[in-house]
């Protein structure tokens, strides 16, 4: 399920009384406030404050329901403590049942909520900044496409261009691709007219593929990044203007570096 669809489901979730625990936890190891796993302290102290509040209300059923969810949330995060990213967002309820976990690669502000509905404002803010998006990296030798959401790479596709054969095909990214000779070769200004014409046809066909991927994968945005002439040329063949067009060759960059350039610059 896409994040946009899951958010819609969460918006419709409701309890007769308070039963939903919404937990936002900053686990970013690069954050000075998270030195030596400080997220553990913030997690347990935040949940303890809610437990104390419920205890004071003297509703034993509500307290027991919260304790079960608290233990489940703590176990979930501790079980994944060795592969945490920048943040964790969890929405949980016992009755009716709800368990929605998101390990995200975007900044999360630690907070905890106990309500009759999931508290989604922070999640919606993050999604607005990092929606489902396709990042297109055109070069002379290939077009590289990153399928992303919430700062994560979902998939990576590469379409090769054979200039003399007017042919092209798609392939998955592999470890051997780092030495692919065509990557970054984009001196379109010195190409023969015939090769420029073939490249134009290649880009036109790729534009149709990108539009199809946008529909199939639910992208809210398309971003283009490449050397100026190639990025401009590819952006112009798209039916909808891209959300951004960055004049920088990122084809040799790792996916997380590309995402940083596109979304955080």
Q: Which two tokens stand for residue 11?
A: 């918006």
CB atoms under 10 Å from CB of 41, counted, come to 11
What pLDDT shows up at residue 179? 37
61 pLDDT above the threshold of 60: yes
Architecture of domain 133-263: 2-Layer Sandwich (3.30)
Query: Is residue 237 a contact partner of residue 204, using CB atoms and an 8 Å limit?
Result: yes
What are the structure tokens assigned to 22, written together?
């919404």
d(C-alpha 190, C-alpha 81), whole Å = 52
Average pLDDT value for residue range 2-13: 93
Mean pLDDT value of segment 191-211: 84
Q: Report the CATH number of the 3-129 domain.
A: 3.30.960.10
Cα dihedral 152, 262, 4, 215, rounded to 10, equals: -100
Q: Given pLDDT bands bounded at 50, 70 and 90, which one contains residue 67?
A: very high
Output DSSP code: residue 160: E
Counted residue by residue, the chain has a size of: 265
Q: Is residue 115's pLDDT more than 70?
A: yes
Q: Which helix (H) or strand (E) holds 34?
A: none
Residue 64 has a pLDDT of 96
Work out the number of other CB atoms within 10 angstroms of the CB of residue 2.
15
pLDDT in tens, 92-102: 999 899 999 99
**Would you state the pLDDT for residue 84?**
83
pLDDT exceeding 70 applies to what percent of the chain? 87
Q: Where in the chain is the domain with CATH 3.30.960.10?
A: 3-129
Which residues lie below 8 Å from residue 193, measured CB to CB, with a gap of 6+?
none
| CA–CA distance, 207 with 138 (Å, rounded to integer) | 11
Condensed to tens digits (0 to 9), the pLDDT of residues 20-49 reads 999 999 998 877 776 677 899 999 999 999
Q: What is the pLDDT of residue 181?
A: 35
Question: Distance of CA 245 to CAs 102, 227, 261, Å?
Answer: 29, 10, 11
Q: Which helix (H) or strand (E) holds 260?
A: helix 255-263
Element (H, E) at 118: none
Residue 163 binned pLDDT confidence (cut-offs 50, 70, 90): low
Residue 157 has pLDDT above 90, yes or no: yes
Entry pTM: 0.77
Which of 132, 50, 34, 52 lies closest to 88 in space, CA to CA? 34
Least confident range of 29-38, 212-221, 223-232:
29-38
Longest dimension (CA), the chain: 81
Pairwise CA distance, residues 108 & 117, whole Å: 20
Look at residue 123 and tell me whether its pLDDT is greater than 90. Answer: yes
């Amino acid at each position: 399920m896409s994040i946009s669809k899951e958010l819609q489901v969460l918006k419709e979730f409701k309890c007769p009384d308070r039963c939903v625990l919404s937990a936002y936890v900053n686990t970013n190891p690069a954050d000075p406030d998270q030195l030596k796993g400080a997220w553990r302290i913030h997690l347990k102290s935040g949940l303890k404050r809610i437990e104390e509040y419920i205890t004071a209300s003297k509703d034993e059923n509500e307290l027991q329901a919260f304790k079960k969810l608290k233990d489940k949330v703590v176990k979930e995060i501790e079980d994944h403590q060795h592969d945490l990213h920048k943040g964790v967002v969890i929405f949980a309820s016992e009755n009716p049942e709800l368990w929605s976990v998101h390990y995200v690669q975007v900044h999360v502000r630690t907070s905890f909520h106990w309500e009759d509905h999931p508290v989604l404002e922070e999640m919606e803010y993050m999604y607005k900044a990092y929606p489902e998006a396709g990042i297109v990296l055109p070069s002379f030798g290939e077009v590289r496409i990153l399928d992303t959401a919430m700062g994560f790479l979902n998939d990576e596709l590469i379409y090769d261009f054979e200039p003399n054969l007017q042919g092209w095909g798609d392939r998955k990214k592999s470890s051997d691709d780092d030495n692919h000779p065509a990557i970054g070769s984009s001196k379109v200004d010195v190409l023969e007219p015939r090769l420029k014409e073939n490249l134009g046809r290649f880009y036109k066909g790729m534009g149709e593929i990108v539009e199809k991927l946008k529909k199939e994968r639910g992208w809210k945005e398309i971003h283009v990044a490449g050397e100026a002439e190639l990025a401009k040329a590819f952006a112009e063949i798209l039916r909808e203007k891209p959300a951004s067009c960055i004049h920088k060759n990122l084809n040799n960059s790792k996916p997380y570096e590309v995402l940083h350039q596109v979304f955080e610059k």
